Amino acid sequence: MSVPSTRDMTVVLTGATSGIGKAAARLLAPRVTRLIVHGPEQPDDVAALVKELRAANAGDVHYVHADYDRLAAVRALADSIAQHTDHVDVLINNAGRPGAPRRRLSADGNEATLQTNYLAAVLLTKQLTPLLLASAEPGGRVVNVASATHMTASLDPHDLNLEHSTYSATTAYARSELALVTHACWLASQAPPPQPDTVSLHPGVINTSLLHAMFSLTGEPTTRGAHNLVHAALATSRWGGRYLNEEHPVRPNPITLEPAFQEQLMASTVDLLRRAGAY
């Protein structure tokens, strides 16, 4: 799929203040009309980055803050985004965290890795869907950054918070990625229309703090992962729920494509969001 050098579009990028997200923001700023970047830091703490991005973009860059430990903050994030634009052409769900050494609950009572990596992305996507459907692009696009660790993961849709399963950091992380890929597949195949175009992306084995925390590895430069992410975001053809390994479409974990599993996962997801008063 081709990627034009510039696009007249509005892009929302979460997790944009470090790692792949920060590198992707730097690539996107000169190539899109409006860039809205998210991070957990207070605005003063990222002022230098925002100034840099605005210099590359002729000024139409906005920073929005939210801590994904509280789902109410995700709803407020969507409201903040809506104050800056009446449409979103691409939403990039890049924000993520490694699995904690020990099971930890979010402020909403959900397993923390699941909430940050999956529940928050689902909620933000839902809240921004009206803006995505207002895109001049056909329905807009959602890009989920989701590690290839999901390929060997398993997930009980009735135990999303790992209350009845053995906890490990790698298990918590991989299953959150599996859920995120499944959500993209559900949007493409089962969700009531209209829906935005979706694609999930393994950006590569990239040298980030998450990689170090989870796997004690040294990966490729963040610019490589950012290039793969921008390719998925700005490609001119529709992805239709595909999963990319870097730039190449590959088959995801087969369970992500099973309609029954998708529906069970979404039912449990909606239940957790409703319990938190977020849905």
CATH of residue 37's domain is: 3.40.50.720
pLDDT, tens digit, 9 for 90 and up, residues 111-149: 999 999 999 999 999 999 999 999 987 889 999 999 999
Helix (H) or strand (E) holding 48: helix 47-57
Ramachandran region of residue 79, left (φ > 0), alpha (ψ -120 to 50) or beta?
alpha
Least confidently predicted of 56-60, 74-78, 197-201: 56-60
Q: Are 153 and 178 in contact (CB under 8 A)?
A: yes
Q: In which residue are the tokens 């920060």 written?
A: 22
Q: In which residue are the tokens 């490729």 written?
A: 220
Query: Which among 210, 204, 206, 202 is positioned nearest to 219, based on CA atoms?
Result: 206
In the predicted model, is pLDDT for residue 58 greater than 80?
Answer: no
Question: In this structure, is residue 216 part of a structural domain?
Answer: yes
Q: How many residues does the chain have?
A: 279
Query: What average pLDDT does range 146-170 have in this prediction?
Result: 94
Q: Are 238 and 138 in contact (CB under 8 A)?
A: yes
pLDDT, tens digit, 9 for 90 and up, residues 170-220: 999 999 999 999 999 999 999 999 999 999 999 875 444 554 355 555 557
Task: Answer with the residue of higher pLDDT: 21 or 221.
Answer: 21
Question: In this structure, is residue 1 part of a structural domain?
Answer: no
Question: In this structure, is residue 57 part of a structural domain?
Answer: yes
Global confidence as pTM: 0.93
Indicate the number of domains in the chain. Answer: 1
Question: In this structure, is residue 246 part of a structural domain?
Answer: yes
In the predicted model, is pLDDT for residue 103 greater than 60?
Answer: yes
Pair of tokens at residue 245: 């390994």
Question: In this structure, is residue 78 part of a structural domain?
Answer: yes
